[in-house]
């Protein structure tokens, strides 16, 4: 008997089993089920392994583009687009990356179905006509050229900002240049005008200030000709006056131990530095003002102790201080030169060597004859700056002795109600103008007196005597 089992349809071949007739039929019936199961398992195991191998070896040939499935979106600009292919799988493509003109949401009014939904320009062409603007990175066709964000979303590379209509420094603002200024004019006429950027061009309108008549010794080019304090419109020859700079600072004015009109002591702050004449104004200085027709000629005075008359006759007008002037006449000379009389605060600030608060201009040592013209050491005024002993630390001479000096302030019997804590003069009017006979302050003392830096007295502004002279101050201006 022959038993044949055809397993070809199960998997990969056929198996035959032959049994001899000489075997006992009893053995056949006992062994046959086991044999059948054994031979059946062999092709089944092989079949399972073959199917697994077949699954693992499934691949795609991405070079055969025509064989790749079409993508899901097949309308508008997406028509003909195929799925993304790898050797192991197919997937929907990145439409924005591979499809020209694709828009996830319809944005362009261009007669094209950009979002591949079968509709053309839905909801984008019903708005107002495109208004052309500069293209910026905002997913909108700002410049109306049917392209979105072209060249607007590139990374900005910072550089120095220049006036060219671009955001060179990448801060989001166009032409935001640092403010610069253009200067024009000379001297007092000099002015600065800002330089602005408009439409890619740098523009500035600079107009010099108006010029004025040249003044002397104010260290300003008043007539804007590039020269300072030269003989100008108002003077034919500028006086040669040595001016000393006094810096700003604070000091104690007055004295709690002095006379009643020197009290109470108070702190004063000089807000602005200034220049003060190193000496009292001389006869020669004043003569130049007379020659200009500005100051009054004092040669008609009969008192031979008036230095204007006496020293011109003797030829020593360069050496002696000018006396026999009223307060107004002294101030007129100072203003002719662009300055003024010192305020009482300025005068004492200089005499006390600023914050040194010395008792005398030269320090704390008591004065003596031969070094200072005071207390009738001489019976008349002497020449200016005769002894360096009497100078301040900065070189201002003759603040004490020789001649008393006019200052701007009106006289008050004490400092108790002084309204100012700075260098301003104490006057009813801001410019210290007023009745000619107002009592004005005198500082420094003359050759007949003993005095300190605190000593003060007064005299009517419309009177003069042989004991009083003056010096001038100028503002510290560029």
pLDDT in tens, 386-401: 989 999 999 999 999 9
Both tokens of 125, joined, read 């062409």
Q: Return the H-helix or E-strand segment holding 309.
A: helix 307-314
Q: How far is CA 173 from CA 46, 165, 456, in A?
A: 75, 10, 65
Model confidence at 216: pLDDT above 80: no
**Directed axis angle between helix 327-336 and helix 283-291, to 10°?**
70
Query: pLDDT exceeding 70 applies to what percent of the chain?
Result: 81
Rounded to 5°, angle at Cα 21 from 19 and 25: 85
pTM: 0.58
Report if residue 270 sits inside a domain. yes
CA–CA separation, 447 and 369 (whole Å): 11
Model confidence at 11: pLDDT above 60: no
Looking at residue 454, its pLDDT comes to 94
Both tokens of 331, joined, read 């101030």
The residue among 374 and 371 whose pLDDT is bigger is 374
Report if residue 286 sits inside a domain. yes
CA–CA separation, 50 and 42 (whole Å): 13
Give me the mean pLDDT over the 239-257 stretch. Answer: 94
The residue among 175 and 116 whose pLDDT is bigger is 116
CA–CA separation, 226 and 298 (whole Å): 36
pLDDT band at 20 (very low <50, low <70, confident <90, very high): very low
Looking at residue 34, its pLDDT comes to 52
54 phi and psi angles, rounded to 5 deg: -65, -40
Where is average pLDDT lowest: 5-9, 188-192, 376-380? Answer: 5-9
Model confidence at 83: pLDDT above 90: no
* Shared-domain flag, residues 397 and 435: yes
Looking at residue 59, its pLDDT comes to 61
pLDDT in tens, 261-281: 999 999 999 999 999 999 999
Report if residue 52 sits inside a domain. yes
Give me the mean pLDDT over the 433-456 stretch. Answer: 93
CA 432 to chain centre: 38
* Shared-domain flag, residues 385 and 345: yes
According to DSSP, residue 209 is labeled P
Q: Return the H-helix or E-strand segment holding 307.
A: helix 307-314
- For the chain, the 3-state helix, strand and coil shares in percent, each to the nearest 5, are 20, 15, 65
* Shared-domain flag, residues 301 and 209: no
Report if residue 438 sits inside a domain. yes
pLDDT in tens, 357-368: 999 999 999 999
Looking at residue 85, its pLDDT comes to 84
Closest CA to 276 of 201, 183, 353, 197: 353
* Shared-domain flag, residues 400 and 434: yes
| Residues paired with 321 in a beta bridge | 282
CA–CA separation, 347 and 358 (whole Å): 13
Report if residue 464 sits inside a domain. yes
Report if residue 450 sits inside a domain. yes
CB neighbourhood size of 200 (10 A): 12
* Shared-domain flag, residues 380 and 321: yes
Q: Return the H-helix or E-strand segment holding 91.
A: strand 90-91
* Shared-domain flag, residues 205 and 257: no
Locate the DSSP E strands across 104-187: 180-184
* Shared-domain flag, residues 182 and 308: no
* Shared-domain flag, residues 406 and 358: yes
CA–CA separation, 36 and 125 (whole Å): 79
* Shared-domain flag, residues 185 and 285: no
Q: Is 270 helix (H, G, I), strand (E, B) or coil?
A: strand
Give me the mean pLDDT over the 73-82 stretch. Answer: 91
Report if residue 119 sits inside a domain. no
Give me the mean pLDDT over the 446-451 stretch. Answer: 94
pLDDT in tens, 409-418: 999 999 999 9
Q: Which range has highest mean pLDDT (43-47, 144-148, 298-302, 460-464)?
A: 460-464
**Residue where one domain finishes, among candidates 40, 56, 72:** 56
Looking at residue 12, its pLDDT comes to 39
Report if residue 213 sits inside a domain. yes
Looking at residue 213, its pLDDT comes to 73
C-beta of residue 470 within 8 angstroms of C-beta of residue 328: no
CA–CA separation, 361 and 394 (whole Å): 10
Where in the sequence is the domain holding 465, given as residue range(s)? Answer: 243-475
**Directed axis angle between helix 307-314 and helix 283-291, to 10°?**
100
* Domain count for the chain: 3
Closest CA to 71 of 84, 58, 60, 62: 84
pLDDT in tens, 152-203: 776 778 888 888 888 888 887 888 888 888 889 898 899 999 988 888 888 8
Closest CA to 389 of 406, 366, 405: 366
What rounded mean pLDDT belongs to the chain? 83
**Residue where one domain finishes, among candidates 223, 252, 277:** 223
87 class by beta-carbon count within 10 Å (0-12 exposed, 13-18 middle, 19+ buried)? exposed
Looking at residue 13, its pLDDT comes to 39
**Residue where one domain finishes, among candidates 167, 190, 223:** 223
CB neighbourhood size of 58 (10 A): 8
What CATH number is given to the structural domain containing 249? 3.90.1580.10
* Shared-domain flag, residues 206 and 316: no
Helices (H), 57-156: 95-98
pLDDT band at 459 (very low <50, low <70, confident <90, very high): very high
* Shared-domain flag, residues 253 and 370: yes
Model confidence at 21: pLDDT above 80: no
pLDDT in tens, 25-65: 445 445 555 545 554 455 545 444 444 444 444 566 677 76
* Shared-domain flag, residues 385 and 323: yes
Looking at residue 318, its pLDDT comes to 85
Closest CA to 279 of 135, 444, 123: 444
């Amino acid at each position: 008997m022959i038993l044949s089992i055809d397993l070809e349809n199960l998997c990969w071949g056929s198996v035959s089993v032959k049994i001899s007739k000489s075997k006992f039929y009893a053995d056949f019936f006992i062994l046959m089920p086991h044999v059948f199961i054994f031979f059946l398992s062999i092709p089944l195991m092989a079949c399972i392994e073959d199917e697994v191998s077949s699954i693992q070896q499934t691949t795609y040939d991405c070079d055969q583009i025509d064989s790749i499935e079409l993508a899901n979106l097949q309308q508008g600009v997406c028509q003909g687009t195929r799925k993304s292919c790898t050797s192991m799988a197919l997937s929907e493509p990145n439409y924005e990356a591979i499809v020209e003109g694709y828009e996830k949401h319809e944005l362009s009014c261009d007669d094209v179905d950009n979002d591949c939904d079968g509709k053309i320009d839905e909801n984008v062409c019903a708005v107002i006509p495109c208004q052309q603007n500069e293209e910026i990175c905002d997913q909108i066709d700002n410049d109306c050229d049917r392209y979105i964000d072209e060249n607007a979303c590139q990374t900005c590379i910072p550089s120095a900002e220049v006036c060219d209509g671009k955001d060179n420094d990448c801060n989001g603002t166009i032409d935001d240049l640092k403010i610069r200024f253009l200067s024009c004019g000379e001297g007092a006429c000099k002015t600065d005008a800002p330089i602005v950027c408009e439409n890619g061009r740098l523009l500035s309108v600079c107009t010099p200030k108006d010029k004025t008549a040249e003044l002397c010794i104010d260290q300003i080019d008043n007539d804007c000709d590039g020269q300072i304090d030269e003989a100008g419109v108002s003077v034919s020859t500028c006086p040669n006056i040595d001016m000393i700079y006094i810096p700003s600072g604070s000091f104690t004015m007055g004295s709690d131990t002095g006379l009643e009109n020197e009290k109470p002591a108070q702190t004063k702050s000089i807000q602005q530095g200034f220049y003060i004449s190193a000496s009292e104004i001389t006869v020669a200085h004043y003569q130049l003002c007379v020659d200009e027709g500005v100051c009054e000629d004092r040669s008609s005075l009969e008192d031979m102790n008036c230095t204007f008359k006496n020293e011109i006759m003797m030829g020593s007008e360069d050496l002696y201080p000018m006396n026999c002037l009223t307060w107004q006449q002294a101030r007129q000379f100072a203003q002719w030169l662009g300055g003024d009389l010192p305020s009482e605060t300025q005068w004492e600030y200089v005499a006390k060597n600023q914050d040194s608060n010395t008792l005398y201009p030269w320090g704390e040592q008591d004065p003596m004859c031969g070094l200072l013209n005071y207390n009738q050491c001489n019976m008349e005024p002497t020449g200016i700056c005769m002894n360096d002993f009497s100078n301040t630390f900065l070189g201002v001479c003759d603040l004490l002795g020789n001649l008393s000096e006019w200052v701007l302030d009106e006289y008050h019997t004490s400092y108790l109600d002084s309204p100012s804590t700075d260098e301003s003069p104490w006057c009813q009017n801001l410019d210290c103008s007023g009745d000619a006979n107002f009592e004005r302050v005198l500082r420094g003392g003359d050759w007949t007196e003993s005095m300190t830096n605190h000593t003060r007295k007064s005299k009517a502004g419309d009177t003069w005597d042989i004991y009083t002279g003056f010096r001038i101050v100028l503002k510290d201006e560029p």
